[in-house]
Structure 1
Amino acid sequence: MEWSTWVIIFPILLFSIAVFILLIGPLPRCRGTLLETAYWWLTDDFPVGVKRTALRICGRRVTQCIGRSVGCFVGTAHPFFQALFMVLFGGGLVIFVCFAWPEIPGPYLSNTHHIFIPISIALTLYTYFKCCASDPGRITDANANLAQRMFPYDLVLFNPYPCRTCKFIKPARSKHCSLCRTCIAGMDHHCVWINNCVGHNNIHLFVSFLASMASMLGYGSWLIFNIFRGFRESAQLDDAWYYDYETRQRVKVTWFQSYQMILAEQPFLGALGILMGLIAPALVIFLGYAFYLIACGATANESDKWSDLNAWIEDGGVRWGPVSHANRVFIESSNPNQRIPDRQVVIDEEVSSSPASDAAAAADTPSTMAEVDSPSQLEGTGPAAAEYGQITSLEEVDNLYDHGWSTNLKYTLFWGPALPACPDNTLDKTKRD
């Protein structure tokens, strides 16, 4: 292929691979694989290398100014990636209409398949803007008490500890987002592409967006592949030969060589096909992982906590302890209908090889046994409660938020109480949009 073709294809190929790695690399199933290594290189090693290079070339003062500018860019919520998404979406749509649509083989336009194209585009844009404008479940002083009654404290991953920024007791399953600068109920993750958090109130919209986007890209890449196959058949490249001057023999054109020739003639269409063909499977994997977490009664944030807890259990630094007096009093006062667990998880800093402070911050659990009140301070506790039993396997710890895969899917995606911004002291079950 000519260099002008590579100027178009190569950046799209790199961008597609980078998006694939950023979507799939942080998943727990990819730990210890090449994808995780590439993810950490992109997010950690590469920025550090750029900073060191800038120090050598520009000096410390200029590098610090650049670092502060980048910090303002990545440390706050901003619409850059939203604009990038719309540029890619709009550019891809223009290329598809101008180059791909006229070349779609007749059989695909003579049946109902072509109806799927505008429907998938409209559905993708609708779910995308709904995700951008939705309330993920922002917790404020007005609805903090109501949010505390949405989910019970399991005293494993979540204890009633105050948020250091928002200054109120963090509800169970919530997390403070440093980009949105607020606590989010049922926090899953912050998505830069929608410039919004994904939480309990909008997880169903985010799943709908992933599904519509994956189906649109998958169908589009399949159409472009069939267009290229039509070009190959019309040019009779499937039965073409050429003379090799090095071997002085007549050689048949391979499948890869034939598509290289077509790619040189249709670089924009080929770049669009590569972009959609690489991102579509990444979105399918990400969507499958989202459904898996929902069916298990967990979020991406909680999945990381379970993984960390499992690592600390293997280090021998996690034990069962009696419920602290402070936890008992708070749960009884904030949510009288919740059954108080018989015991809670405690991180033992003397046994665990991980820093206890980091463990407590990540898992919302007491960092030392000293933070758990002695059994004599607890009313109605017997000698058995005084014993700290060491946890040897993650199977000994139940997920309080797992009610069965069918109930989890129905509760999260279709029917469940949403956290209102202006509460009326009720959590009525409302059908999802």
Structure 2
Amino acid sequence: MDVQWLLIIHGLLTLLVVVSFLCGQWPIFEGTPIQRIHYFLTFGAYDYFLRFVGFVFGEKAINAILSVEYFCCDRPNPVLQIIYLAIIGITYYFIAKSSFSYIPGYYLSGFHRSSRYTSLLGVGIGVFFFLLTSFADPGTVKAENVSQYQSAYPYDNIIYTEKECSTCKIPKPARSKHCSICNRCVARFDHHCGWMNNCIGERNTRYFMAFLLWHLFLCLYGIVALGFVLAGRLKELRVVYILTVYYGIENSFRKLAPHVVQWLLGSYNTQILLMVFLAVVSLLLASFFGYHANLCRTNTTTNETVKWQDHMNWLRKVNEARASAAALKASINGMSSKRKPPDSKWKTFFRRSPLEDSGAVVKNNIYDKGILHNVWEVISPPSTRRSFLRTKSKSS
């Protein structure tokens, strides 16, 4: 099989796996192979692995794996933090070793000569955002500040009502949640991030967003810079000229592309692999940042998205039950009354559905006060403002 077909197949398979992993749970992919691949990647593969281990090594091996899983996934631990630092260090090392010697090049001017220092600074800023998100207080709710958080986030009496945390034994402010991993209540709780070994909440969402955006820029810059390095090597070594003049290959993209790609894979495979790795990571970061940016835009959290979905499903079922009861009542009344002439097909087609007449399901998010206000609340959380501190001093 030709090299170009192998590359095309490899690219399509990689794209299929990435899309399945990131988007396989979306409703649009329900019942499709993408949903099944997503299920296999996120659950099925691990389940088959446990079965294989149990079949070969017995129940004790399964218990050992489950205990490791409990430590890694259900308790605070630095495993993923160490993996992150290792990925950053190893990636930077390979980029520096394989590509810095080609800078400046044909397409990268002397301005980029200092990239070995500026790139190190860029990686350092990324690690700084990582450490800031990991060790910053996410907004821990305590007995000393619970009344201030209750004032900052009023109850909407839809998905948040006055109740007490069964673990902390203090009132639960609206938008807060008790994290079973960290064993604490967190204000404006979004999710627990294993990579940060910390909750993402009211006070560190801004650092988390900066972490995602900065790493996305780093990956994109790395892809572009490596692409210019490879393009410069093609130009400097006159690869196209040699292929067309000495090997008689037609000077067209279709004829030259497979030979150029084959030469790049043979001579600069490290840079190619780094570009592919950075591209995959960029897709992950872009999708994750876009998702959380949309949450910030609407002043919603991941935890609230789940709560709203449950609430909307409940309302939808109630409305469906009411519509069914109304339709049944109408049919019973129609049987006892004089038969009416049938409506025309056009009237039947444009008639409103009984479900629409029963009332639309509307998400009433009282915390959404406009894009500017919502974004500012992420940048400057209520608990960091003077008004919050004044309220605290009055209550004490």
Does TM, scored on the shorter chain, surpass 0.5?
yes
The residue type paired with residue 191 of structure 1 is C
**Is 1:135 aligned with 2:140?**
no
Alignment of 1:354-393 (within 5 A): 392-393=359-360
1:159-214, Cα deviation, whole Å (9 max, x unpaired): 22222322322211111222212111111111111111111101111111111111
Q: Distance in 2 between matches of 1:20 and 1:268?
A: 25
Query: 1:168 pairs with 157, 167, 170, which one?
Result: 170
The residue type paired with residue 190 of structure 1 is H
- Which of the pair has more CA radius of gyration? 2
Give the structure 2 partner of residue 79 of structure 1: 78
Secondary structure of 2:169's counterpart equals coil
Give the structure 1 partner of residue 108 of structure 2: 108
Worse-superposed segment, 304-313 or 211-220: 304-313
Task: Evaluate the alpha carbon distance shift between residue 177 and residue 25 of structure 1 in structure 2; reply closer, same or farther with a 3 A threshold.
Answer: farther
Task: Evaluate the alpha carbon distance shift between residue 143 and residue 165 of structure 1 in structure 2; reply closer, same or farther with a 3 A threshold.
Answer: same
Give the structure 2 partner of residue 40 of structure 1: 39
The residue type paired with residue 81 of structure 1 is L
Secondary structure of 2:192's counterpart equals strand
The residue type paired with residue 82 of structure 2 is A
Do 1:293 and 1:299's aligned partners in 2 also have CA atoms closer than 8 Å?
Answer: yes
Task: Evaluate the alpha carbon distance shift between residue 112 and residue 257 of structure 1 in structure 2; reply closer, same or farther with a 3 A threshold.
Answer: closer
Give the number of the structure whose residues are more often helix, by fraction: 2
Alignment of 1:210-221 (within 5 A): 210-221=212-223
Task: Evaluate the alpha carbon distance shift between residue 174 and residue 313 of structure 1 in structure 2; reply closer, same or farther with a 3 A threshold.
Answer: same
Give the structure 1 partner of residue 91 of structure 2: 92
The residue type paired with residue 375 of structure 2 is L
The residue type paired with residue 204 of structure 1 is R
Q: Distance in 1 between matches of 2:223 and 2:19?
A: 16
Give the structure 2 partner of residue 337 of structure 1: none
The residue type paired with residue 194 of structure 2 is V
Task: Evaluate the alpha carbon distance shift between residue 302 and residue 71 of structure 1 in structure 2; reply closer, same or farther with a 3 A threshold.
Answer: same
Alpha carbon RMSD of aligned pairs, Å?
3.7
Q: Distance in 2 between matches of 1:317 and 1:53?
A: 47
Do 1:20 and 1:279's aligned partners in 2 also have CA atoms closer than 8 Å?
Answer: no
How far residue 404 of structure 1 moved from its aligned partner, in angstroms, is 0.5
Give the structure 2 partner of residue 271 of structure 1: 273
Task: Evaluate the alpha carbon distance shift between residue 26 and residue 127 of structure 1 in structure 2; reply closer, same or farther with a 3 A threshold.
Answer: farther
Give the number of the structure whose residues are more often strand, by fraction: 1
1:357-397, Cα deviation, whole Å (9 max, x unpaired): xxxxxxxxxxxxxxxxxxxxxxxxxxxxxxxxx984332x3
**Is 1:209 aligned with 2:196?**
no
Task: Evaluate the alpha carbon distance shift between residue 294 and residue 269 of structure 1 in structure 2; reply closer, same or farther with a 3 A threshold.
Answer: same
Count how many residue pairs are aligned between Structure 1 and Structure 2: 340
Unaligned runs of 5+ in 2: 1-9, 322-356
How far residue 123 of structure 1 moved from its aligned partner, in angstroms, is 2.0
Alignment of 1:252-401 (within 5 A): 253-316=255-318, 392-395=359-362, 397-401=363-367
Alignment identity in percent? 22
Q: Distance in 1 between matches of 2:18 and 2:176?
A: 27
Do 1:242 and 1:250's aligned partners in 2 also have CA atoms closer than 8 Å?
Answer: yes
Task: Evaluate the alpha carbon distance shift between residue 150 and residue 71 of structure 1 in structure 2; reply closer, same or farther with a 3 A threshold.
Answer: same
Unaligned runs of 5+ in 1: 1-9, 320-389, 429-433
The residue type paired with residue 211 of structure 1 is L
The residue type paired with residue 157 of structure 2 is L
Query: 1:225 pairs with 224, 227, 237, which one?
Result: 227
Do 1:232 and 1:259's aligned partners in 2 also have CA atoms closer than 8 Å?
Answer: no
How far residue 81 of structure 1 moved from its aligned partner, in angstroms, is 0.8
How far residue 158 of structure 1 moved from its aligned partner, in angstroms, is 1.2
Which structure's relative contact order is higher, taking Cα pairs within 8 Å and 6+ residues apart? 1
The residue type paired with residue 177 of structure 1 is C
Q: TM-score, normalised by structure 1?
A: 0.68
Secondary structure of 1:315's counterpart equals helix
Do 1:146 and 1:425's aligned partners in 2 also have CA atoms closer than 8 Å?
Answer: no
Secondary structure of 1:176's counterpart equals strand
Task: Evaluate the alpha carbon distance shift between residue 238 and residue 391 of structure 1 in structure 2; reply closer, same or farther with a 3 A threshold.
Answer: farther
Q: Distance in 2 between matches of 1:394 and 1:256?
A: 55
